[in-house]
């Protein structure tokens, strides 16, 4: 019974813009083939008419050519209508594609917005501010440490400048004494007051500075 009334008959798929445009393109191609055949036929009539003299035969052939020309105009009108339909559907398809792309973009923005809200929800602004304050304090401590290490040490106030002058003068005397000893050229580098004068009748100088030390002892 269901088969008789057709309740279980499969439903035809809904037409789409792509399928409709494809069908119209097929019909336009068919009309183009017919127009090409008509144009070839008209060229044949035109060639014959150009060679015929005026008379009933030429008039009859001309009437046939006019009918064919009229049929060509009808096909051209149909083709123009079909092309206009194709143009309108292509515009609608473009709008549909743009709408799909817009919806994809909107969905992507929604997903991104949701993900950002979720991630930003994990961020504690107060913790970040405290971290920034701690970093600033640490930098201040580091600067203080560097300044402390780079500090120069001044002379203590309780040092007597007179003592420093005396010590400096003593150092100068030591330097002068060393110069005097070096100028004498004596072995052992003895000061001038510790060097014995050699009598004129002695040809040899004292043997060693160690003997002078023994004599002094």
Asked if residue 212 lies in contact with residue 206, where contact means CB atoms within 8 angstroms, the answer is yes
* Digit-coded pLDDT (tens) for 50-89: 887 888 887 888 888 888 889 999 999 999 999 999 999 9
* Per-residue model confidence (pLDDT) at position 187: 47
Please give the Cα distance from 23 to 35 (Å, whole number). Answer: 19
pLDDT above 60 for 111: yes
* Per-residue model confidence (pLDDT) at position 206: 53
Residue 195: how many CA atoms within 13 Å on its side-chain side? 16
Measuring CA to CA, which residue among 75, 71, 126, 92 is closest to residue 16?
92
Measuring CA to CA, which residue among 53, 56, 52 is closest to residue 44?
52
Q: Which of the 8 DSSP states describes residue 158?
A: T
pLDDT above 80 for 112: yes
In this structure, the number of other CB atoms found within 10 A of the CB of residue 27 comes to: 14
* Per-residue model confidence (pLDDT) at position 136: 92
State whether residue 8 is helix, strand or coil: coil
Q: Which of the 8 DSSP states describes residue 207?
A: S
> What percent of the chain is helix, strand and coil (3-state, nearest 5)?
75, 0, 25
Please give the Cα distance from 175 to 38 (Å, whole number). Answer: 132
pLDDT above 60 for 124: yes
């Amino acid at each position: 019974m269901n088969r008789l009334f057709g309740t279980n008959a499969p439903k035809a798929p809904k037409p789409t813009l792509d399928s409709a445009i494809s069908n119209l393109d097929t019909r336009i191609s068919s009309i183009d083939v017919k127009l090409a055949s008509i144009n070839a036929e008209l060229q044949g009539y035109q060639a014959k008419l150009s060679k015929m003299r005026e008379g009933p035969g030429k008039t009859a052939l001309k009437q046939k050519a006019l009918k064919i020309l009229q049929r060509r105009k009808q096909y051209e009108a149909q083709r123009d209508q079909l092309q206009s339909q194709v143009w309108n559907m292509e515009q609608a398809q473009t709008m549909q594609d743009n709408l799909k792309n817009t919806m994809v973009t909107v969905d992507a923005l929604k997903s991104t917005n949701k993900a950002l809200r979720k991630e930003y929800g994990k961020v504690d602004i107060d913790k970040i501010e405290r971290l920034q304050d701690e970093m600033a304090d640490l930098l201040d401590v580091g600067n203080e440490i560097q300044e402390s290490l780079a500090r120069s040490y001044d002379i203590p106030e309780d040092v007597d400048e007179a003592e420093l002058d005396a010590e400096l003068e003593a150092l100068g005397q030591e330097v002068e004494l060393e110069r005097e000893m070096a100028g004498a050229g004596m072995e052992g580098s003895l000061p001038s007051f510790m060097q014995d004068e050699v009598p004129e009748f002695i040809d040899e100088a004292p043997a060693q500075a160690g003997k002078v030390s023994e004599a002094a002892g």
